[in-house]
Chains A and B, each alone.
Chain A
Amino acid sequence: MNVRMIEEPGCREIEVTVRSAPGDSRAARIAERVRSMFGRLVGYADGGSIDRLVVPLESVISIETAEKRAWIHTVGGKRLESPMRLYELEDALEGTEFVRVSRQALVNLDHVMGIRPEPNGRLALKMGNEDIVIVSRSYVSDLKGRIGITH
């Protein structure tokens, strides 16, 4: 793989071109990573569609795994299938408002409307789409640290 940086005076936007042989899945993953750095995720509509949809991060409520796939839940009730796995999305979304809350889910803290403590050291998050997401014990301290809950 060759990586080249070209600096052009007068260039107003960063443009990233990923060039590869047809069907190279690594190239697709690299493109996804770069897109997420610019605040966007790509998904495919539920039902096996090949139409690719690009969604801004601020409209993503949560990302969950089900049926061995990662599903992006957006404002407006859409569910999109991500070409990336959950741990790849977690890496790509590091430094954003997304936080891992269990082995199956990432949530966008901007869409967390309420927090409720549960026994056994868990938390229940009320999301903007009225869904309840449970924070597993092993992820509670990370989440509390992000929000500023000290005990």
Chain B
Amino acid sequence: MARNREQDGFLSGYDNRNIGSAVGMGLLTGSLITVIMLVLSIAVGAAISGLSDWMRYYLSYIVAGLAGGILQQLWFNYHPTMRFAYSARLLGFGITYYVVLAACAYFGSWLPAGNPWAWATFSIIFLVIFAAVTFIIGVSLKKRGIEYTERLDEYHAKRRGE
């Protein structure tokens, strides 16, 4: 008899059966609490004495982190985007995340404002790395995909009695 697997899983909400999953869940919830506390403290500080450079700096990192998580879910775990090939989604994630990172870099003064070369270097390094990763992963997945489809076709043929 099949197990009722609805009860399994790291985030299933049931008692964690080992220390690893308990600590993991703790890290996840702790991270969320940390971000909330940081945002609240920046909000209070900004309300009292205006938005300082260090507040903008930390806020830009928080936004970059949150946006990375959200974009990752939208491009790789959201059903409507799953119909696209992984390499297309990776490219989409890369482009949208680049826009967010550039905005955060500007807002948080990650790069010297009056130095276009710094910005150009940042952009080129990011986009080149992303293009390379997209290409390598795309080639590897395509190769495996062809093999899996061949096995599936053989399976169907066997079922039809061919």
Q: Given A100-B5, A115-B145, A138-B8, are A132 and B82 also a contact pair (CB < 8 Å)?
A: yes
- Of the candidates A100, A109, A116, A132, the one whose C-beta lies within 8 Å of that of B79 is A132
Q: Which of A18-26, A47-55, A86-94 forms part of the interface with chain B?
A: A86-94
- B152-A147 in contact (CB<8A): yes
Q: How far is the CA of A123 from the CA of B9 in the complex (A)?
A: 18
A77-93 interface with B by 8 A CB criterion: 86-87, 90-91
Q: Given A114-B149, A117-B145, A147-B155, are A87 and B82 also a contact pair (CB < 8 Å)?
A: no
Q: Given A119-B86, A124-B82, A134-B82, are A114 and B152 also a contact pair (CB < 8 Å)?
A: yes
Indicate if B137 sits at the interface (CB-CB under 8 A).
yes
Nearest chain A residue, comparing its CB with the CB of B7: A103
A-B contact count (CB 8 A): 62
Residues of chain A contacted by B5 (CB below 8 angstroms): 87, 100, 103, 138
Q: Majority SS of interface residues in chain B?
A: helix
24 pairs across A/B with beta carbons < 8 Å?
Answer: A87-B2, A87-B4, A97-B159, A100-B5, A103-B9, A115-B145, A115-B152, A116-B85, A116-B86, A116-B141, A116-B148, A117-B148, A118-B86, A118-B141, A119-B76, A119-B137, A119-B141, A123-B148, A134-B82, A147-B148, A148-B151, A148-B154, A149-B148, A149-B151
Question: Which residues of B pack against A, CB within 8 Å?
Answer: 1-6, 8-9, 76, 79, 82-83, 85-86, 137, 141, 144-145, 147-149, 151-152, 154-156, 159
Question: Which residues of A pack against B, CB within 8 Å?
Answer: 86-87, 90-91, 94, 97, 100, 103, 109-110, 112, 114-119, 123-124, 132, 134, 138, 146-149
Known: A110-B156, A117-B144. 10 other contacts (CB 8 A): A91-B1, A103-B5, A114-B152, A115-B149, A115-B152, A116-B141, A124-B82, A132-B83, A138-B8, A149-B151
